[in-house]
Structure 1
Amino acid sequence: MPPPKVDVEAPHTDLTNDHPRNGGSSASSSKDGPSNGEKAAADGGAGTGPGDGGRRGSTLGTLLNNPLVGMSREDILADVDSFVEEKGIAEHRDVFRKGALVAQVSNQDGAFEHIAELDEEEKNLLRRELTHRWSQPFMLYFLCTLCAGSAIVQGMDQSAVNGAQTFYYEYFDIRSPEMQGLLNGAPYLCSALLGCWTNPILNKWFGRRGTIFISCFVSVVTGFWMAAADTWYNLLIARFALGFAVGAKSSTTPVYSAESTPKTIRGALTMMWQMWTAFGIALGTIVGVAFANVTVFGEYTQWRWIMGSTSIPPLIVMLQVYFCPESPRWYMEKQRYPDAFKAMKRLRYSPVQAARDIYYAHKLLEIESAEREGRSWTEFFTVRRNRRAAQSSWFVMFMQQFCGVNVIVYYSMQIFQNANYTRDEALLVTMGTGLTNWLFAIPAIYTIDTFGRRNLLLVTFPLMSIFMFFTGFSFYLPEGSNARLACIATGIFCFMAVYSPGAGPVPFTYSAEAFPLHIRDIGMCSATAVTWGLNFVISFSWPSLVAAFGDTGAFSWYGAWNIFGWVTCYFFLPETKNLTLEELDNVFGVRNRDHARYYLTKLPWYIKKHLLFQDVEPMPPLYAFDQTSPSVKKHEMATTSHNEGTAQ
C-alpha cells in the first residue's frame, strides 16, 4: 500500500491543480461514517492521474467538490430562477444568472471568458480580481479599518496595565503576588467565564456590528471606571467588568472580517485583528511612558491617566460602526437575502461578483443545512468536521498563550526591573517590545495567504523556544553587568519579532474561519474562551512562577511549551488558506490519524530536501480537486459496484 502523500504547506496559486478550492460536500456528508475522500484516506488511496477523466486524485485526503460542477446550463438557470423567487430578490434575476454561471467555473482558470452573458466590463473586473487581488472597493477597506480600530481597543485594554501596575501596586500597597496576578488577570477570567459566551446572544439580536458597538461601549465605561477607582477592590471589579468587552469583541471582530472578505485575501485581512491588536499593545506601552511622570492627583496616581486613556479609541470605533455594512453571511443565516445582496454589493466591485459569492455560498450552505438536519448541539463534538475544527482552533489559541507572549505583554516592566533596569528605562524598553510586536506583524499580511497559516507556526515555534531559553539563561550572567542587560533585552525583542508574524495573527484568523456557519458563533466563543482563560492563568501565575522557580525556570517553562506546539502543529493541524469558509468542510473532514500518518511519512522527505539539499521527487497534495460531474461519479460508483459483485 503506497504511503499517503500530501503537500498542503507549499504556497500554491494554481487554483485547478495543487490546492483545495472546489467546495465542501463530500467530507461532511456523513453523520457518522467516513466520506468517500476519508475512505480513500483510510485505504491509503492510490489516486488518479491528470489523464483520468480530468481528475486529480488524492492519496490521503478528500476530493473537494464544487456543487455546481456537472450541472447543465439549463439546470443552473432554472435553479437560479427558483432561488431568486424564494429569497425575494427576483428583480436581480439576470445578475444572479450571470453570477451562478461564473460560480460554476470559479475553479477553472479563465473559463469565465467563454460565458456569453458577461459583457466586457464584467470580464475585465473578473480578470482584475485574479491579477490584482488587493484591488478592492473602498467600503471593504473601511470595514477593515473598523476591525482594526476594534483590535486597537483590545490591545490597549491588554497592555495599559503593564505601565500602570507599578503605580497602583504602590498606591494601594498591594504586595501579594497572588493579588497582583488577580488584578492583572481579572478581565481575562471574566472573559473566559462570561464575556465570550455573551457573543451568540449579542450576535443573534444585534448582528456583528451591534456586538462590536456594545463591546466598545463597555470598554469606554470601564476605562473611566478604572481611572476613578478609590479602592483596590473597586479597581478589581472594574477590571473584571472589562472582560465583558474583551470576550465579545474578540469573538466577533475576526468573524465579521472573515465573513466579509474575498477568500484570496481573507487571511491577510482577518489577521489585521492581530496586527492592530499589536499596535494597540504598543499604544498602551507608549501611554505608559507618556504619563510616567504626571502626578497631578498626587504621588503614584499615574495609573489613573493610563487607564483613563483606554476609553478614547473605543469612542472612535463606535462612530465607525454606523457606516459599515453588516456581514452578508449573517444576513443569509437570518434568511434576509435582499439585505445580504445589498451588503455584498458594497463589498465587491460589481453586482456579478456579489451575486456569484452569495449564490455559491448559498449552495454550499444548502448542503450543510441538509447534513445537519435532525442533529442536536452534540454535533459540536460528535461530527468529525466540527470536532476537528474545534480541536485545531483550541490548539492554536492554547499555543498563542502558552508560547509565553503575554508574560512579556503584562510583566515586561517587572522583568526588566528584575534585570536591574531603572523604572524609566524599563518603561522605555517595554515600549520598544510593543513597537516590535506591531512592526513584525506586518509581514504576515503578505505571507498568511501565500506561505500559509500552518507554515508560519512551524517556522516560528522553534525560534520562539530558542529565544525563551536564551532569555531565561541570560539571568545567570553577572548581576548588573551590561552583558546581562543586553542579552535579556535581545532575547525578549527577538521573541516578539518572531511571535508577531506567526503565533500572533494565526490563531484568531484560523478560529474565525474554521467553523461552519451554523455553529460559527459558539465555535468562536469556545476558541476565545480558551485563549482568555489561559491568558488569565498566565497573568495570574507568573508572579508565583518566578517566586518559585526564578526567572530562568519560568522562561524555560514556556520555552518547552513551544517545542510541544511545533510537534502538535506538524502532525495534526490542517492548512486553511485560499478556501471559502464553506469549502473548509472537506479539509476538516480528514481524520487525525491520516493527517499524522502522512506527515510522519513525509518527515524524511523534508530532511533530505531542506537539510541535506538532495533532489527528491515532489509529493502529491493532500487535497485534490474533483472535476468529475455527478453523473460521471454515479456511473463510476455503479460500475465499481457491478465489478465487485462480479468478482464475488
Structure 2
Amino acid sequence: MVSKTRVYNWYISLVAASCMVLYGYDASVFNALQNSENWEAYYNNPGPNIIGAINTSYTVGAVVAGFFMGGPLADFAGRRIGMGTGAALVIIATLMQTFAPRGQIGIFIAGRVLIGIGQGLALTAGSIYIGELCPPEIRGKIMSFWQMFYSVGSFIAYWVSFATSKHPEGLGEWDWKMVVIFQLLMPIVILSQVFFIPESPRWHVQKNRNYDKARAALRRVRDTDEQVEAEITTIREAIEFEAEAISSGYSALWKDKSVRKRMYLAMIVNGGQQITGQGTLNSYSSIIYKKVFTSSDTIALINALNATFGIIFTLNATWTVDRFGRKFLFIVGGIGMGVCMLIAATVETQTPTLPNGAKTQPVAISIVFLMFLFAFFYKPSWGATVWIFTAEIFSMNIRAQAVGMCSQTQNVVNSIVQQFFPVFLQNEGFYAFYMFAAINVLLAVFVWFFVPETKQVSLEEMDAIFGGANHVVEGAAIEHKDPARYESGTIYDDNKGATERVEKA
C-alpha cells in the first residue's frame, strides 16, 4: 500500500512540475496564433523574419534568466521563491500580450521577452526542487511528469485555439486573445500552492546550515525518522565536502574536470533536444501543415490531437526511465525520430502536389501519422529524459547554476533554429526534414559513446559516475579527520568564517 508520505511526495513534485505547463503553453500558443487570420490582421500581416523574431524574443528572455538569474535566485531566496517569481512574471507578460494596442507588435514582443524571463526562473527552480525532494527510486518517474506537463500546456493551448477557430468572425480579435489570456490559469494555480509546500532541505543546509528546518521539511516527505536522519547526514557530509574542497558559484562550473564533463554533456543533450525537430514542430506546425492541408480548421484539430497524444506518449517515460535507463531511451528515441523524419521528408517531396497547394488525402494522412509517431519516440526520450538527466547529475554546490545554464541551452539553440527555419521551410519545403533525420541519428551515436547511465543513483553520489569524488564518502572522511567540528552539534561555516549552533545530526 502506498504511504501518505509517498503520496505527498507526488503532490509537491507535481506542483513544481506545473512550471513546465507554462513552458508548454507558451511554446504552443504562438504557433496557434499563426493559424489566426485575425491575429495576422491585428499586427499588419508580419512576414517570416518578424515571425522568427517573435519566437526568438521569448528565447532571449529565457536564456538571460536561465543563465544569469534563475540559479542565483534559487540559491539566495529558495526554490519556492524562484517558482513563485517566475509565475508572477508570466501573469504580467500575459496581460501585456493580450491587451497590446492594435499594430503595436513591439509590446507583444516585449511581453514575449518577459514571459521568457519568468519561465527561465520557474523552470530552473522547479526542476531542482523535484530532484532534491523526491526519493531516488522514483525520481525518474516523477521527472517524467515534468515533460508530460509540457504536453499538458500544449494540450490546453491547442484545444482553446481549436475552439476559437470555429468562430473567427463572431469572436473577432478575441479568437486569438482568448488563446493568450488562458495562459493566466497555470501561474495562478502555482502561486496558490507553491508557498504551502516544504522548501528543499538541501537548500536549508546549504544556505544557513539550518538543520531544524531541513529535518522539518524531510519529515513531511519521508516515512520514518531513521530515513530523515540518514538523509540529513548524507546531505551534511556532501555539503561539508563541497564547502571545504570545492568552490561554489559560476566559477566552480569549470574548475573541476568532472563538472566540466557534465556541463558539456548536459549542454549537448539539451541543445540536441531542440534540433531533433520537435521544437520546430511546436512553433511552426501550423505553417508546416499549410503545405499539406488548406483548411485552418483541420490544422487546428491536428495540433490539438498532437498535444493530446503527447500527454499519453510522455506517460511511457514513467515506466521506462527507471527500468531501462536514461541512455537506452536516448538512443532508441534518437533512432526512431530519425527514421520518422526521413520517411516524412521522402513522402512529401516525392509525391505530387495538387493545384490548390495541398497533398492528396492518403499522403496528408501519412505525414500526420509520421509526425505523431515522431512524438511517440520523442516524448519519453529526448523530451522527458533530457530534463531528468539534467536535474540529477550536478552536486549541490553548483546545481542551481548548472541546471539553469544547461537547460537554457535549449533556448540558445532554439533561438537560432527558430529564426532561420521559416525562411528555410519557405525555400526548401520538406527537404528541411532530411536535416533533422541526420541530426537525430548523430545524437543517438553521441549518447552511445559519451553519456553514462545515471538511473537510481543518489544525488550526493552522482559525482563518482562522472569521474569525480564521492561527496558523501569525502565528507565523512573530513568529519572523521576533524571530529571536533561536530562535537556538541557545532558546525563551522568556512564560507562565513563563523560558527552556527545546530542540532547534532
Same fold (TM over 0.5): yes
1:388 maps to what in 2?
261
1:233 maps to what in 2?
106
> Are the equivalent residues in 1 in contact too, given 2:74–2:82 (CA < 8 A)?
yes
Matched, 1:207 2:78: yes
Change (3 A) 1:377 1:185: closer
Distance in 1 between the 2:27 and 2:187 partners? Answer: 14
Change (3 A) 1:264 1:396: same
Matched, 1:356 2:233: no
Matched, 1:506 2:385: yes
Shift of 1:195: 4.8
1:366 maps to what in 2?
240
> Are the equivalent residues in 2 in contact too, given 1:478–1:484 (CA < 8 A)?
no
> Are the equivalent residues in 2 in contact too, given 1:160–1:287 (CA < 8 A)?
no
Shift of 1:413: 1.3
Distance in 2 between the 1:380 and 1:470 partners? Answer: 41
Distance in 2 between the 1:243 and 1:289 partners? Answer: 25
Query: Which digits, 9 at most, give the CA deviation of each residue in 1:308-365, with x for residues without a partner?
Result: 1111111011001122000111111011111111000001112221111111222233
> Are the equivalent residues in 2 in contact too, given 1:200–1:522 (CA < 8 A)?
yes
> Are the equivalent residues in 2 in contact too, given 1:156–1:310 (CA < 8 A)?
yes
Distance in 1 between the 2:12 and 2:211 partners? Answer: 20
Secondary structure of 2:220 counterpart: helix
What is the letter of the counterpart of residue 216 of structure 2?
A: K
1:580 maps to what in 2?
458
Secondary structure of 1:500 counterpart: helix
Matched, 1:147 2:46: no
> Are the equivalent residues in 1 in contact too, given 2:35–2:300 (CA < 8 A)?
no
Matched, 1:557 2:428: no
What is the letter of the counterpart of residue 255 of structure 1?
A: I
> Are the equivalent residues in 2 in contact too, given 1:160–1:307 (CA < 8 A)?
yes
1:420 maps to what in 2?
293
Distance in 1 between the 2:203 and 2:468 partners? Answer: 27
1:436-515 to 2 correspondence within 5 Å? 436-476=309-349, 477-479=351-353, 480-515=359-394
Matched, 1:258 2:127: no
1:76-475 to 2 correspondence within 5 Å? 136-167=5-36, 168-230=39-101, 231-295=104-168, 299-334=172-207, 335-372=209-246, 377-475=250-348
Distance in 2 between the 1:348 and 1:370 partners? Answer: 29
Distance in 2 between the 1:538 and 1:331 partners? Answer: 40
Change (3 A) 1:588 1:464: same
Secondary structure of 1:333 counterpart: helix
Shift of 1:202: 1.7
Larger radius of gyration: 1
> Are the equivalent residues in 2 in contact too, given 1:274–1:508 (CA < 8 A)?
yes
TM-align CA RMSD: 2.2
- Per the normalisation by structure 2, the TM-score is 0.87
> Are the equivalent residues in 1 in contact too, given 2:66–2:405 (CA < 8 A)?
no
2:492 maps to what in 1?
none
Query: Which digits, 9 at most, give the CA deviation of each residue in 1:138-168, with x for residues without a partner?
Result: 3212202202322222211221112112322
What is the letter of the counterpart of residue 119 of structure 2?
A: V
Shift of 1:294: 4.4
Shift of 1:178: 1.0
> Are the equivalent residues in 1 in contact too, given 2:72–2:400 (CA < 8 A)?
no
Change (3 A) 1:364 1:352: same
What is the letter of the counterpart of residue 25 of structure 2?
A: M
**Higher normalized helix content (fraction of residues):** 2
Change (3 A) 1:580 1:195: closer
- Per the normalisation by structure 1, the TM-score is 0.68
> Are the equivalent residues in 2 in contact too, given 1:253–1:273 (CA < 8 A)?
no
Shift of 1:133: 8.2
Q: Quote the sequence identity (%).
A: 23
What is the letter of the counterpart of residue 149 of structure 2?
A: W
Distance in 2 between the 1:258 and 1:377 partners? Answer: 20
Shift of 1:213: 0.7
Deviates more, 1:260-269 or 1:151-160: 151-160
> Are the equivalent residues in 1 in contact too, given 2:70–2:82 (CA < 8 A)?
yes
Shift of 1:135: 7.3
What is the letter of the counterpart of residue 76 of structure 2?
A: W
Distance in 2 between the 1:225 and 1:390 partners? Answer: 35
Gaps of 5+ in 2: 354-358, 478-505
Change (3 A) 1:174 1:425: same
Shift of 1:590: 7.2
> Are the equivalent residues in 2 in contact too, given 1:159–1:284 (CA < 8 A)?
yes
Query: Which digits, 9 at most, give the CA deviation of each residue in 1:469-527, with x for residues without a partner?
Result: 11112212122312220121011110011101100011111111111111111101211
Distance in 1 between the 2:329 and 2:418 partners? Answer: 26
2:410 maps to what in 1?
531
Shift of 1:279: 1.4
> Are the equivalent residues in 1 in contact too, given 2:133–2:221 (CA < 8 A)?
yes
Change (3 A) 1:188 1:573: same
